[in-house]
Structure 1
Amino acid sequence: MQLSPLPSEFQAALPVLSALNDHGYEAYFVGGAVRDALLHDRIHDVDIATSAYPAEVKSVFRRTVDTGIQHGTVTVLLDHDQYEVTTFRTESTYQDFRRPDHVTFVRSLKEDLKRRDFTVNALAMDQHGEITDLFAGLSDLQHHILRAVGKPEERFHEDALRMMRAVRFQSQLAFTLDPATEQAIAHHHGLLTKIAVERINMEFVKMMAAKDRRLGLKTFLDTQLFTACPGMDDQGAALATMLADKPQLLLQSGSVWLRVAAALTLPEKAVERFMRAWKTTNTERRQVSQLLPILKKITAHHLTDWDLYTAGADLLTVLVPVAEQMGLTTAALATRYQQLPLHQARDLAISGRTITEWFPQVQGPQIGALLHLATQAVVAGQVPNDAGAIRHFLEQHAEGVSL
Structure 2
Amino acid sequence: CDHCEPLFNDKPFRAGDQLQAYSCRPCQCHGHASSCHYEHALDPYPGEHFRGGGGICDSCQHNTTGLQWKPPNSPPSLHTTEEFVYPEIGGQCKCKRHVSGQQCNQCQHGFYNLQPSNPDGCRACNCNTAGTVQADITCQQDSGQCRCKANVIGLICDHCNFGFKFLDSSNPEGCTACNCNIHGSLHQFCDPFIGQCQCKDHVHGLLCDTCMPNFYGLTSMGSCWPCSCDPAGSLVGSTCNPTTGQCMCKSGVEGQRCNVCREGFYGLAWGNPQGCLPCLCDPRGTVTGPDSCDTTTGRCRCKAGVEGLHCSHCAPNFFNLSAGYGSAGCKLCPCDPTGIISGTTCDMVTGQCVCLPSRDGRDCAVCRPGFFRPASGANGCEPCECHPVGALSQTCDPETGQCDCSHPSVAGRRCDHCQELHFGFNHSLG
Q: Which has the higher contact order (CA 8 A, sep 6+)?
A: 1
Higher strand fraction (1 or 2): 2
Q: Normalising to structure 1: TM-score of the pair?
A: 0.25
Higher helix fraction (1 or 2): 1
Q: Which structure is larger by alpha-carbon Rg, 1 or 2?
A: 2
